[in-house]
Amino acid sequence: MEFQKTPGWLDWYSGPSKPRFKVPPGAVDAHCHVFGPGAEFPYAAERKYTPCDASKRQLYTLRDHLGFARNVVVQATCHGADNRAMVDALTHSEGKARGVATVRRGVSDADLRAMLDAGVRGVRFNFVKRLVDFTPKDELMEIAGRIAKIGWHVVIYFEAVDLPELWDFFTALPTIVVVDHMGRPDVGKPVDGPEFELFIKFMRQHPNVWSKVSCPERLSVSGPPALGGEQNPYRDVIPFARRIVETFPDRVLWGTDWPHPNLKEHMPDDGLLVDFIPHIATTPELQRKLLVDNPMRLYWPEES
């Protein structure tokens, strides 16, 4: 099947730079996606965008180029609840990828079992309105109860302004809960202002809540590093990510978010994204927790 990508959508960055920051041995890119290829794994009818293809082989090439050892492949909304492309990326990774799926209420125990065997370790609940249609919370809670029994966790994606309304649902989830991209803070607001304080309180009061300190390119208002190599890429995001890393060092994850869905103005160089890491995890110990210890504990507990 032929798919035309959404107009205005930027292609992912080809030929990313070699990062100056050397990630520690065994580092995990804990948030990335595969898109299709659409001819092999068609995009879902209910999708809100059509991406450009981004295959598992291209993902593995990026992993090696950036110096990472493993990936966590997160089901993207353009594939709906058809997890075949993501599962295919896991099964061809030689054990170097684990996954997070999207499932609906009707998913069978056999399907969950097959995904577990392929390396899936969680489900994603998406509340970002531009990406998905509404799913009733009782359906999500039912899914959470089922996947808790097989040791999976829940990944949640939402906008910061929606946290108050979603609080009761999130805090009732019976699993580890991993928040995508720090709950998408408005980094134009103060890092110690009420909105981000609520997120800090969410993590402080609930020891089962983790956060990905990812996507500075999505959150930044100040924008990408200037040409010629600025010292502080996406500098307005740094205080937010750094605060989470330093306050909750054992519950943070990092990922590239390759191939960066839905970006229309700026497509990051993934090498520069890696160079962002030492600005938010400033010591070797924090870097090891963020990139190795924490993702291994969550996704490869049998090896950590």
* Enzyme catalytic residues: 257
Identify which range of 17-25, 72-80, 84-92, 112-120 contacts ligand 0GY by CB under 6 A: 72-80
CA distance 52 to 55: 10
Residue type (1 letter), 185: P
**Residues 226-255, interacting with ligand 0GY (CB under 6 A):** none
CA distance 179 to 59: 22
Please return the burial class of 149, using the count of CB atoms within 10 Å of its CB with bins 0-12, 13-18 and 19+: exposed
Residue 29 near ligand 0GY by CB under 6 A? no
83, 175, 262, 287: which one contacts ligand 0GY (CB under 6 A)? 262
**Residues 83-122, interacting with ligand 0GY (CB under 6 A):** none
Q: Between 143 and 162, how does the x/- string for binding to ligand 0GY read (CB under 6 A)?
A: --------------x-----
Backbone dihedral angles phi then psi of residue 154, each to the nearest 5 degrees: -115, 130
Q: Give whichever of 186 and 230 is closer to ligand 0GY, judged by the CB atom.
A: 186
Q: Give whichever of 181 and 288 is closer to ligand 0GY, judged by the CB atom.
A: 181
Q: Give whichever of 48 and 230 is closer to ligand 0GY, judged by the CB atom.
A: 48
CB 182 within 8 A of CB 244: yes
Backbone dihedral angles phi then psi of residue 149, each to the nearest 5 degrees: -70, -20
CB 293 within 8 A of CB 24: no
* Tokens describing residue 100: 């997070």
Query: Measured from the CB of residue 60, what is the shortest distance to ligand 0GY in angstroms?
Result: 18
For 34, how many CA atoms within 13 A lie in the half-sphere containing its CB?
A: 34
Backbone dihedral angles phi then psi of residue 212, each to the nearest 5 degrees: -85, 125
Identify which range of 22-30, 74-82, 242-250, 268-276 contacts ligand 0GY by CB under 6 A: 74-82
CA distance 103 to 122: 10
29, 53, 180, 217: which one contacts ligand 0GY (CB under 6 A)? 180
Residue 267 near ligand 0GY by CB under 6 A? no
Residues that bind ligand 0GY (CB under 6 A): 33, 76-78, 131, 157, 180, 218, 257, 261-262
